[in-house]
Amino acid sequence: MDFKNLKVAIVCDWLTNFAGAEKVIYKLHQMFPNAPIYTSVFNAKKMKGFENAVVHTSFIQGFPKAKEKHQWYLSFYPLAFESFDLSQYDVVISSCHSCSKGIITKPETMHVSYCHSPMRYAWDNSHEYIRTYKMPWIIKRFIPKMIHKIRMWDRLAADRVDYFLTNSNYIKKRIKKYYQRDSKVIYPMVNVKNYYISNIKDKDYYLAVGRFTPYKRFDLIVDAFNELPYKLKIVGTGNQEKELKAKARSNIEFMGFTSDDELKDLYANAKALIFPQVEDFGITPLESMSSGRPVVAYRAGGALETVKEGETGIFFDEQNVAQLKAGVEKCENTAWDSKKIRQHAMNFDETVFEKQIMEFLENKWSNWEKEMR
């Protein structure tokens, strides 16, 4: 059967805000516009681009504050995804960093999971998650026991996947470690043509973009720029916003939520993007590079696969103020070629992603169909 004639469904953990994983889901939705999307919780107001999608939600959708605080209901997620009836589909594509890979499919259905990461709060980040994530004390009290059960279920759920895709070699190793499964790397994408190189030569600020959560290390960015003579603009919101603003000096400006067009201008006219966290992959560095701007990045995680030191960015080796400040100063004293930086970003353009995804799916389906006969 031609792949175009197959019944395809897309499954994802949740659709409550538009971040890196959601951009992959959106691209899959564009590739398969007739494929319904199954997810735990859907916040339509925050998910621009999904207006015409057929979205099926779980029972968690009706829980109090589920659209804003879906993390509160982690213990319900295995049941939520196991409850979806996907028996009518030939191919199911799950985009997963939590529980969506745990769907149950019939033997004839091919399940491909694009794994953004094994569930971090169940595995290597479990202790930090319990310590740093802000939640009601009554929920936090039962978190360790809940995570223990989730961890066992997550390992079992990984065995339900027929083929794993992943976003970086960094995550490929984690999948092998925790799930004992092989995976193929297909890098997430950036729509390079949506960004532009600015003609303004005298750029006067650095930029940081993301949600204000502990692992993003906005605290480190603020501490470093409190000691630097350069301007910093921060785009984003989150749980740490109040404390970050309280300690920031006057050279640091909080932009809050910005429109896509505003963000493109901010990227294009920045000296560089500051990226001090460990990410599974990291889309914001590619958005900066698509704008011809370099990245000052911590030497770890997915950044090692997207940033070319001395050509598209600068690495620093430890997550501390001194190292980040040194990275910024090195960036200040480097002559950057904006066209070369943007050309590098083309290696991660959405056209590359779409081509590789389709080739993988068509190849695997051809073999799958033969085996099912």
What's the chain's average pLDDT?
Answer: 92
Residues 173 and 225 in one domain: no
Domain shared by 135 and 226, yes or no: no
Mean pLDDT value of segment 201-223? 94
**Do residues 83 and 59 make contact, with C-beta atoms less than 8 angstroms apart?**
yes
* pLDDT value for 179: 96
What are the pLDDT digits (tens) for 26-61? 999 999 999 999 999 999 998 989 999 999 999 999
Distance of CA 96 to the CA centre of its chain: 10
Q: What distance in Å separates the CA atoms of residue 211 and residue 16, rounded to the nearest whole number?
A: 13
Percent of the chain scored above 90 by pLDDT?
Answer: 81
Return d(Cα 255, Cα 221) in angstroms, integer. Answer: 15
Q: Which CATH number covers residue 138?
A: 3.40.50.2000
Residue-wise DSSP of 1-37: --GGGS-EEEEES-BSS-SHHHHHHHHHHHHSTTS-E
Q: Are residues 235 and 357 in the same domain?
A: no
The string of pLDDT tens digits covering residues 55-99 is 999 999 999 999 988 878 888 999 999 999 999 999 999 999 999
Q: What is the 3-state secondary structure (H, E, C) of 306-351?
A: CCCECCCEEEECCCCHHHHHHHHHHHHCCCCCHHHHHHHHHHHEHH
**Confidence bin at 140 (pLDDT 50/70/90):** low
- 173-195 tens-digit pLDDT: 999 999 999 999 999 999 999 99
C-alpha distance from residue 173 to each of 17, 78, 109, 251 (Å) = 28, 24, 27, 40
Q: What are phi and psi of 231, to 5 degrees?
A: -75, 150
Note whether 178 and 219 are same-domain residues: no
HSE-CB at 326 with a 13 A cutoff on CA atoms is 10
* Rg of the chain on CA atoms, in Å: 21
Q: Which amino acid is at 116?
A: H
Residue owning tokens 């594509």: 93
The answer, yes or no, to whether residue 150 has pLDDT greater than 70, is yes
Strand-strand pairing, 205-209 and 110-115: unpaired
Alpha-carbon distance of 345 to 251, in angstroms, equals: 30
Based on the fold, state whether residues 168 and 278 are members of the same structural domain. no
Give residue-wise pLDDT tens across range 104-136: 999 999 999 999 999 877 677 555 655 555 555
CA distances from 241 to 18, 72, 332 (A): 18, 20, 28
With cut-offs at 50, 70 and 90, classify the pLDDT of residue 147.
confident
Verify that 65 and 146 share a domain, yes or no.
yes
Dihedrals φ, ψ of 258, to 5°?
-125, 155
142-149 contacts: CB < 8 A, separation 24 or more? Answer: 146/74, 146/75, 147/74, 147/121, 147/122, 149/75
Helix (H, G, I), strand (E, B) or coil at 42: strand
Question: Does residue 181 share a domain with residue 198?
Answer: no
Residues 152 and 164 in one domain: yes
The residue range of the domain holding 306 is: 192-348
| Domain tally, the chain | 2
**Cβ(319)–Cβ(326) under 8 Å?**
no
> Are residues 282 and 231 both part of a single domain?
yes
Same domain, 65 and 39: yes
- Same domain, residue pair 362 and 293: no
Q: Residues 139, 31: one domain?
A: yes
The mean pLDDT value for 330-355 works out to 97
Give the per-residue pLDDT at 162. 98
**Arithmetic mean of pLDDT, 309-313:** 97
